[in-house]
Amino acid sequence: MCSSNVSSSMETAGTPSETRVQSDEGPRVLIREGFVWDGQAAYLFDIDGTLLRSRDRIHFNSFAESVHQVTGFEVSLTGVVLHGGTDTAILREAFQLAGIPDEAWEPQTGAILDAMRQTIAERRGEMQLWKMPGVDETLAHLAKRGALLGLATGNLEMIGWTKVEEVGLREWFRFGGFSDRFEVRSQMVADALTKARELLGDPTETRICVVGDTPRDIEAAKANGLPVIAVATGNYSFEELAAGEPEVCATSLEALIAHCKVLVREEAVDGAGGLR
């Protein structure tokens, strides 16, 4: 198990510049004193910016395309805060920015979401997705320790599972919370939390940790009384995420795993009576 209350700086292999993993200081990890980041009963992972990122705009473009296909209205995601948002909330905000009243489109919400799902189903082979550094090793590490792994994402369920499948991560996850029925992220996390507790067989289990890359992930976790691991592999910096006071803040999951290995080695040396 790995816990620490210190911030560390380590050197790791280079990663795509889009992930913003590297900073001028190099990879960094901050773990709140007493928190065992890999000792939780279950983990709720965000997808975009946490597990993977995309080089295509298929999901992004599906909003406006589906709205036009179903309603004839023209909307744009320009000005919409996407990072940490839910698909259903993004859709609503796009209509609001276009000045289209709720009563003009809400009755067709289901058809719009279905059109988005259909677009992803038809074009999944064109998606250009790549995994964030350290994801495979982190999931394997947590699974080996007996943790239950799930998703807590703003994606619609079909779209979220498609992305996870396309990068070869589906086998790790047993359940998920999605935005099909929840515009508010904290409510989506609450749904994932309920599912996790059901699978764990303990309706009061609190050792369930959110893993995400935005301040909204931190806020949603705190709204549900859950600890959170924040990773700066999305569009927010280490400093911006650390300001939200997550239990763990790291430049990447790769940095967190490397930090854990360093602590384990140091503890082994100390236990053997050696020198650091």
Separation of alpha carbons 239 and 251, rounded Å:
10
pLDDT in tens, the chain (276 residues): 665 544 444 333 222 223 333 344 589 999 999 999 999 999 999 999 999 999 999 999 999 999 999 999 999 999 999 999 999 999 999 999 999 999 999 999 999 999 999 999 999 999 999 999 999 999 999 999 999 999 999 999 999 999 999 999 999 999 999 999 999 999 999 999 999 999 999 999 999 999 999 999 999 999 999 999 999 999 999 999 999 999 999 999 999 999 988 876 656 545 544 433
Neighbours of 109 (CB within 10 A): 15
What pTM did the predictor assign? 0.89
If you count them, how many residues does the chain have?
Answer: 276
pLDDT of residue 261: 82
Domains of the chain by start residue, with CATH: 7-54+129-271 (3.40.50.1000), 58-126 (1.10.150)
Alpha carbon 55 to chain centroid distance?
A: 17
pLDDT of residue 208: 98
DSSP string covering the chain, please? ----SSEEE-------GGG----TT--EEEE-TT--TT--SEEEE--BTTTEEESS-HHHHHHHHHHHHHH------TT---TT--HHHHHHHHHHHTT--HHHHGGGHHHHHHHHHHHHHHHGGG--EEEPTTHHHHHHHHHHTT-EEEEE-SS-HHHHHHHHHHTT-GGG-SEEE-SSS-SSHHHHHHHHHHHHHHHHT-TT---EEEEESSHHHHHHHHHTT--EEEESSSSS-HHHHHTT--SEEES-HHHHHHHHHHHHHHHHHHHTT---
pLDDT of residue 9: 45
